[in-house]
Structure 1
Amino acid sequence: MNDAWQSFLQEHGARIESGLVADFGDAGSERHAARGQSIVADLSHLAILEFSGEDAASFLHGQLTCDVNAIAPGSAAFGGYCTPKGRLLASFLLVRHARGYLMLHSRTITAALHKRLGMFVLRSKVAIREVSGEWVLLGLSGPEAPKQLVALHGQGRGLQADGSVAVEIPSRRIVLILPLAVAQNTWNRLRSSLRPVGTGCWQWLDIREGIPLVTAATQDQLVPQMANLELIGAVSFAKGCYPGQEVVARSQYLGKGVKRRLYFASLADSARPAAGDELFSDDLGAQASGLVVNAQAAPEGGYDLLVATPTASKENSVVRWKSPDGPALRFGALPYPVE
């Protein structure tokens, strides 16, 4: 988080922990507000890589799971970046900006992701920069969010006159990418109608929507289908080759290798779960069978999670957290069907 932006948020009541907004003074009430009220959240859990140059689109199209060529200016797509074996090194929201592409991804993987993608630039006319300090990311949700976006700019999503970009993601949530110079004024205007909440509230909404975020703890653990990326439009099966494409295609069309899928689950009255924690299933004994992908405190208490676990265990057994005799997970529904 940019130092000036952090100081500004603290002046407006933000409590900062490890570079993220923990809350604005009432974490429990803010979590309840996230369920259906109109909110605004700082998204500093995400970092930004910028891709510019005349070959930026073709370079990214040959590296990522999503159809980069189909992203119109001012719009975005979810995507993944894989190893040659089809394992995810990153999941992200890729935004087409006036000067190139902005990749919004977990800040825990920025250095490694930047280095690896840079290895494949070769003679391509593309520049990759880490530009998190030049932008502010805000998340808007709730019934007033679209109205406030129009009030800000006189229009809805897309490229804005002040250099910002507003993109819509599931459940009509809005990700607002702001130049640092306009961020403070924008925040002041938004908070008159949208309640400021901690970053974890937005992450909880992602969990409820079944949108996974690959972090350092879960890199190289999942093929895209194990993270349901094809179910949220993050994988194109019509495009050409990219690293891991053959593995991803075989998993899709031949049903090979997709024994685990991403599910929503809850834990009551446990210690705080974390991404990368192992899961165990009664039907598989002492052998770890899955992992926690993302976890956040839930409005009703306990924790809500996205977990990658065998479908058979989820349907026919008991799945437990961290040990074969650990707390049992309670599974719930995602907003899309998982087959």
Structure 2
Amino acid sequence: MNANPISLPQTVSSWQGALPLSDLALIRAEGPDAAAFLHGQLSQDVNHLGPTEARLAAYCSAKGRMQASSLLLRPAQEQVWLLTDAGILPGWLKRLKMFVLRSKVQLTEGGMQAWGLAGESASKSLGDAAKAPVWSSQPHASGQLVRLPDVQQVPRWLWLGAPEAAAWLANLPALPESAWSCLEVLSGIPRVTEATFDQFVPQMVNFELVGGVNFQKGCYPGQEIVARSQYRGTVKRRAFLAEVQGPAKPGQEVFASSDAAQPAGMVVLAAQLPQQADAPNEAPHVVLLELKLASATDEITLGAADGPALRLLPLPYAMPSPDGDA
């Protein structure tokens, strides 16, 4: 597949500042068995998660389908935070509680607010904390600061803390929600939402490529399916980035010209590029989509066989060869 270069607006360098992320919410696991309990539920090694690390993790059904994705932090020995999509949190929390049984762990919602920080102004405000490596976590301003991967040379961070501790962020410019959403999409890191609940085995959306699956850890729901997909070469779908002239949303189907009678994939995440003053009605959407590998060289359309064309873009990380071990 030859992806076209991305056509971000020239103003991408001005995507800087901070904003509260209302689409993310937190589950807190506390108690002597917090890490061990989650270790048996998630695709990630939680037992060895250190206080300076952040790791991605999936919660899967018995069939290996992702029912939640999360960012894990362990700010204290007996405490693990799971940052996840706000829409799926209530149902996921309820399901996790069903399996606590005799484990010494308490699962609660909220108490923390997530903020996204990006660009030069955020870097200057964070000082030396901005220099931490990608996927690190550290205490900062009475909360936790996570260094995310850069996107299009724009540095990004997540700050998690109590709402009353977020006053320091008011000193930063207000980052447009559309800019942060675009950076999230263009990172190529999937997030399970209500529209994509139970749709994807982790490899179908590149979740193992961004560190979301540990293949050396013990069992968890769906582990056999996920491992079989990895080691038997049964992954026939992958996540791709694309651009489309028009609206897009998670859960929308995509179609390929080689077999227009049935969907070839699904939108995972979508965001509209921030509108420019000289073209306020022409801002396209960028999408992260799951797609059959066999359709990656076809003409791809959104919503229907005669829908708007999707132009594939390069991912920010390497994709395994279809003939490789993935």
Same fold (TM over 0.5): yes
Which position in structure 2 is the counterpart of 1:175?
Answer: 158
C-alpha displacement at 1:200, in angstroms?
Answer: 3.1
Which position in structure 1 is the counterpart of 2:323?
Answer: none
SS, match of residue 233 in structure 1:
coil
Whether the 8 Å CA contact 1:212–1:294 is kept in 2: the answer is: yes
Task: Measure the CA separation in 2 of the matches of 1:143 and 1:69.
Answer: 35
Which position in structure 1 is the counterpart of 2:233?
Answer: 255
C-alpha displacement at 1:154, in angstroms?
Answer: 10
Q: Among 84, 87, 96, which residue is 1:105 paired with?
A: 84
Which position in structure 2 is the counterpart of 1:146?
Answer: 123
What aligned pairs does 1:157-196 form with structure 2 within 5 A after superposition? 158-160=137-139, 162-171=141-150, 172-184=155-167, 186-189=168-171, 191=172, 195-196=173-174
SS, match of residue 68 in structure 1:
coil
User: What residue identity is the alignment partner of 2:142?
Assistant: G
1:81 equivalenced with 2:59 (yes/no): yes
1:321 equivalenced with 2:321 (yes/no): no
4+ runs deviating over 3 angstroms: 31-37, 153-159
Alpha-carbon distance change, 312 to 42 in structure 1, aligned in 2, over 3 angstroms: same
Whether the 8 Å CA contact 1:33–1:39 is kept in 2: the answer is: no
Task: Measure the CA separation in 2 of the matches of 1:201 and 1:263.
Answer: 20
Alpha-carbon distance change, 289 to 155 in structure 1, aligned in 2, over 3 angstroms: closer
Which position in structure 2 is the counterpart of 1:116?
Answer: 95
1:294 equivalenced with 2:275 (yes/no): no
Moved more, 195-204 or 240-249: 195-204
1:69 equivalenced with 2:44 (yes/no): no
Which position in structure 2 is the counterpart of 1:237?
Answer: 215
TM-score by length of 2: 0.85
1:312 equivalenced with 2:291 (yes/no): no
C-alpha displacement at 1:47, in angstroms?
Answer: 0.9
Consecutive unaligned residues of structure 1, counting only runs of 5 or more, are 1-30
Alpha-carbon distance change, 69 to 307 in structure 1, aligned in 2, over 3 angstroms: same
Task: Measure the CA separation in 1 of the matches of 2:131 and 2:289.
Answer: 38
Whether the 8 Å CA contact 1:65–1:242 is kept in 2: the answer is: yes
Whether the 8 Å CA contact 2:25–2:113 is kept in 1: the answer is: no
How many residues are paired up? 297
Q: What per-residue deviation string (whole Å, max 9, x for no partner) do you get for residues 208-230 of structure 1?
A: 11011110110111000011111
SS, match of residue 116 in structure 1:
helix
Task: Measure the CA separation in 1 of the matches of 2:67 and 2:10.
Answer: 33
SS, match of residue 329 in structure 1:
strand
Moved more, 93-102 or 52-61: 93-102
Alpha-carbon distance change, 155 to 182 in structure 1, aligned in 2, over 3 angstroms: farther
Structure with the higher fraction of residues in helix conformation: 1
Consecutive unaligned residues of structure 2, counting only runs of 5 or more, are 1-8, 276-282, 321-326
Which position in structure 2 is the counterpart of 1:303?
Answer: 285
User: What residue identity is the alignment partner of 1:207?
Assistant: V
